[in-house]
Chain A
Amino acid sequence: MELWKIILIIVGIILLWSLIVRNRFVKLKNSIVNAKSTIDVYLKQRFDLIPNLIEVVKAYSKHEEELFITVVEARNDYLHSMSLKDATATNEEMNKLIALAESYPELKASEQYLNLQKQLVKMENQLQAARRVYNSEVEVYNNAIMVVPSNIMAKLLGYKSEKYFELSSPEEAKNVEVKM
């Protein structure tokens, strides 16, 4: 076989491989976007409970205005930006609110709070599952762009590794000291 034919075949194979790898990167990236949007949905549902939570806590503790204002502002910031940074901030403030609620035994036992708690638990579990799905997609994507020889294509096409999604849980917030 002539040299130019061999070179043509090799180039063809490389092009085909590049196409396959590129398409795989696109699919993996879309999976991450999809998983992220699922997290956003659950986060929004969770943060939508903030007004109810404030109403319930207010009945037992009217001295936490500062906390109430902070958490509402954080929520509004998140709804405006939908960024991870604002989600983290809102989540932290919300966890403080939950920790405060749990420090009042009468409030903890009230029917209103128990219903709210049930919804919070459900959403927490959904969020945790969504976070695990997201992190699983990120792991697959990061592996795909780092292994040889796909990493060559990834560098040429400008694909960079994604960060894992981290969000603290209400249990972690119980360690936070809340001023009364």
Chain B
Amino acid sequence: MNPNEPIQVSESTLASARVLFALLVREMATRFGGSWAGYLWALIEPLAFIALLSLAFSQIAHSPPIGRSFPLFYATGYIAFSYYNDIAALTGRSIHVNRPLLSYPVVGPLDTVLARFLLQGLTGLAVAAIVFAGILAVFADQVQIRPLPLMASLALAALLGLGVGLVNCTLFAFSKTWELIYGVIARPLFQVSAVFFTFASMPAYVREVLWWNPIIHLVGLMRAGFYPAYDASHVSHVYVLALTLGLIVAGLAMMRVGSGRLAES
């Protein structure tokens, strides 16, 4: 063993921490425009959407599919969906938007993905906390918060988003066609993710297909975290976890193979 080795390791860890921090600051500068209005928008967008869904559906139904509060029902669906979706969308474009910075030898493609993952992960958590706290304070409902499924839903959503983002950020860099195809695949995702309905309310043959959509499971876990009477027996942690790990491993492998050309193309 080289006696200098431990020093080199800590030096390189420090260097990656510096790079990650620099990228985080850089992302915040462009993401929120360095102003409070930018941060506020991250909160207003989901609130407006949940309000809109609640308003629309309360006109045609007497009560939401579960519980009594429309806003809470749509929040459980929308927050789980958007926590995944925002992370996937942002990390998926991390190489594209940061490409010039990759020509600094100390900045690697994975750093840009992790910086965006951290920023959106934390932003999304803050948004989720504020939205749920606000809704529960204003609209009474018979909820019993169970932290375990709630946290499982958010954790799996974050990792699934990271996996999809990792795969996409390399593929997008090499194939414009894939970017178009992915856009077509991802567009109807919101409509088939049980955000504004429940999985159980669908006919059996629809459920069989929908079950493979991992976001269904995330939304199921989220609702299990709020509604004691909700039946989340269709949720499979194993399926979501296996899919997530598969995507992360595939994404890292593609990035490794393509890394030489990522900075150049």
Q: A and B: real partners?
A: no
> A residues touching B (Cβ–Cβ < 8 Å)?
none
